[in-house]
């Protein structure tokens, strides 16, 4: 079986394309890969570092709400003003918390407990509760609420 000239060219062209990579092509591939790989590695590790932050916030919110429920379960008059430093959270390593409870008047509701308050007996009293969680990456998560005198349930 003899092949015509055009068929021979096609056949030889297919053989030439199956030859593989040359040494220069392999060296260029390695050089380009050596440039791109470290850059992509840095971008990937940075993205992964911030990927764990939502997990920190979910745990911090859970811890803060747990403390808030513990404080607000008591009757208004038994909730004492307090300002504590950071302490370890039981059951959660690397997390710390602190909470502050202060009296505030109706005109000072937006002020935090660190602000000076001029509450007098003329105001309806509110108590402001602030819970701050210090997360493992040294960022903080703050939750605050107001409670007022309410009838016993």
Sequence ranges of the domains in the chain: 19-51, 53-148
Residue 131 φ/ψ, nearest 5 degrees = -120, 125
pLDDT at 30: 93
DSSP string across 4-46: -HHHHHHHHHHHHHTS---HHHHHHHHHHHHHHHHHHHHHHHH
pLDDT at 71: 83
Q: What is the rounded CA–CA span in Å between residue 134 and residue 140?
A: 5
Q: Provide the pLDDT for residue 153.
A: 47
Give dist(CA 80, CA 71) in Å, integer: 10
Give pTM, 2 decimals: 0.56
pLDDT for residue 11: 53
Q: Report mean pLDDT in 10-residue bins for the chain, 153 residues.
A: 55 58 90 89 77 79 89 76 84 89 71 60 69 89 81 54
Per residue, what are the HEC states of 116-131?
CCCCCCCCCCEEEEEE
């Amino acid at each position: 079986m003899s092949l015509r000239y055009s068929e021979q060219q096609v056949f030889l062209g297919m053989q030439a394309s199956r030859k593989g990579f040359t040494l220069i092509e392999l060296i260029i591939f390695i050089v380009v890969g050596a440039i791109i790989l470290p850059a992509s590695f840095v971008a990937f590790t940075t993205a992964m570092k911030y990927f764990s932050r939502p997990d920190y916030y979910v745990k911090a919110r859970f811890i803060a709400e747990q403390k808030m429920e513990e404080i607000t379960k008591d009757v208004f008059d038994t909730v004492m003003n307090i300002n504590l430093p950071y302490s370890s959270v039981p059951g959660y390593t690397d997390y710390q918390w602190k909470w502050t409870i202060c009296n505030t008047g109706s005109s000072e509701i937006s002020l935090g407990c660190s602000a000076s308050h001029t509450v007098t007996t003329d105001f309806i009293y509110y108590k402001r509760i602030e819970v701050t969680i210090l997360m493992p990456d040294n960022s903080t998560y703050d939750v605050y609420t107001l409670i007022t005198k309410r009838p016993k349930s």
